[in-house]
């Protein structure tokens, strides 16, 4: 066992060191030169939350039937922003490090991983704010909250898998950046972040079932269920069976495996194609 661990450590030691340095550099450079610096990690989602809360709750009364709607909304925004940050940065991750790729020979996957871990730090910072909102909003924690870290892992794997695919595609097809930007704008409103899933069910149950095939929608709804309110509709509630819960998990695993395979296949030629 020790021999296996030592072999694994020797094989990936350089990658781990490089990953740490890239994560530190990315996080330091992100807000370099700004007056507020890292505080923007908190202010950006909070500003978006305030705007959307005022519009959708105070004007359109979208949160009238949703318990703890401010926290319900903020949690959805924070999780969505993590997914958005990882995938948006992932698209250009490899191309942005073109000079480094041409000068050094190192595992290319480290570049994409670094962006994912940097965004994960932001997610943890933002989740502290969510916890503060939960306290002030009187949200009671239950044992189901222990499931939340597993949902974060699921979101991490899904976001990372898509980042591998997008970054590899962008090396050859530069239109991917614009296509993904448009897709994400549409996906934001097609995901139950601002409104409850019950609102969609009232219009069309079939549409709600199709919408929940999106792993991000499933993760957001499950997170709301385990952290905020048992009124949040999950896959089990929608389909009437816990077995259907494996559908989005299967989608995440398939995308992650296919994307990793495609990235590994294309990575040897990145330096020449950039």
Domain count for the chain, please give it.
1
Q: Is the pLDDT of residue 38 over 70?
A: no
Q: What is the pLDDT of residues 147-168, one digit of tens each?
A: 999 999 999 999 999 999 999 9
Q: How confident is the model at residue 99 (pLDDT cuts 50, 70, 90)?
A: confident
Percentage of residues in the chain having pLDDT higher than 70:
86
Q: What is the pLDDT of residues 190-229, one digit of tens each?
A: 999 988 888 899 999 999 989 998 999 999 999 999 999 9
Residues in CB range of 50: below 8 A, 6 or more apart: none
Mean pLDDT value of segment 48-54: 79
Classify residue 231 as left (phi > 0), alpha (psi -120 to 50) or beta.
alpha
Q: Is 20 inside a domain boundary?
A: yes
Q: Is 89 inside a domain boundary?
A: yes
Cα angle for residues 210, 166, 22 (degrees, 5° grid): 125
| pLDDT of 76 | 94
Domain that holds residue 171: 15-273
Q: Which phi and psi (to 5°) does residue 213 adopt?
A: -70, -20
pTM of the predicted protein model: 0.89
Q: Is 162 inside a domain boundary?
A: yes
Q: Is 254 inside a domain boundary?
A: yes
Q: Is the pLDDT of residue 35 over 60?
A: no
Q: Is 202 inside a domain boundary?
A: yes
Q: Is the pLDDT of residue 67 over 70?
A: yes
Percentage of residues in the chain having pLDDT higher than 90:
43
| pLDDT of 226 | 95
Q: Is 75 inside a domain boundary?
A: yes
Q: How confident is the model at residue 75 (pLDDT cuts 50, 70, 90)?
A: very high
Mean pLDDT value of segment 83-106: 87
Q: Is 8 inside a domain boundary?
A: no
Residue that has been written with the tokens 């502290």 in this structure? 128
19 vs 232, more confident:
232
Mean pLDDT over the full length of the chain: 85
Q: What is the pLDDT of residues 246-265, one digit of tens each?
A: 888 999 999 999 999 999 99
Q: Is 192 inside a domain boundary?
A: yes
Q: Is the pLDDT of residue 8 over 60?
A: no
């Amino acid at each position: 066992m020790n021999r296996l661990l030592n072999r694994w450590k020797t094989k990936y030691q350089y990658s781990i060191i490089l990953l740490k340095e890239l994560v530190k550099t990315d996080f330091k450079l992100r807000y370099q030169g700004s007056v507020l610096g890292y505080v923007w990690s908190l202010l950006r989602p909070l500003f978006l939350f305030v705007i959307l809360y005022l519009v959708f709750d105070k004007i359109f009364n979208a949160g009238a039937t949703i318990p703890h709607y401010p926290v319900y909304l903020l949690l959805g925004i924070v999780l969505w922003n993590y997914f958005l940050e990882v995938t948006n940065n992932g698209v250009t991750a490899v191309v942005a490090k073109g000079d480094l790729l041409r000068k050094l020979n190192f595992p290319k996957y480290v570049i994409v991983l670094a962006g994912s871990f940097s965004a994960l730090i932001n997610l943890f910072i933002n989740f502290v704010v969510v916890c503060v909102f939960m306290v002030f909003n009187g949200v009671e924690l239950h044992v189901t909250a222990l499931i939340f870290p597993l949902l974060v892992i699921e979101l991490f794997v899904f976001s990372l898998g898509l980042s591998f695919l997008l970054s590899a595609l962008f090396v050859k097809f530069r239109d991917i950046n614009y296509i993904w930007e448009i897709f994400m704008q549409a996906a934001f409103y097609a995901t139950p972040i601002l409104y409850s899933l019950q609102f969609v069910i009232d219009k069309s149950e079939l549409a709600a079932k199709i919408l929940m095939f999106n792993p991000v929608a499933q993760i957001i709804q499950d997170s709301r269920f385990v952290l905020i309110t048992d009124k949040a509709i999950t896959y089990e509630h929608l389909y009437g069976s816990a077995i259907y819960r494996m559908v989005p998990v299967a989608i995440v695993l398939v995308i992650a495996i296919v994307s990793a395979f495609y990235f590994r296949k294309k990575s040897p030629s990145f330096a020449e194609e950039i």
